[in-house]
Amino acid sequence: MEIKILGKGCPKCQRLEELARDAATEAGVEATFTKVKDVDDIMAYGVAITPALVIDEVLKCSGRLPQKSEIITWLQGG
């Protein structure tokens, strides 16, 4: 599974990465994490406000920090 954190590296982006890593551990999912900081690459996902979370090339949320339980649900296919 591939998880991408879209954002320039602000505190919210860093927090989203922490949440996603914790969620993957709790869900028992092996994932690779990629930080996407280039504005053009971020906009290619249709994201105007960061942070954003992409799981296996599907945008799951942007412009907010999701709850860890939400991320776990997404990781489990929900």
Q: Exactly one of 2, 8, 10, 26 is catalytic; name it.
A: 10
Q: Exactly one of 13, 19, 54, 71 is catalytic; name it.
A: 13
Per the CB < 8 A criterion, the answer to whether 14 and 65 are in contact is no
Q: Rounded to 10 degrees, what is the CA torsion of 41, 44, 47, 49?
A: 40
Annotation says 61 is catalytic: no
Annotation says 13 is catalytic: yes
Q: Which residues are catalytic?
A: 10, 13
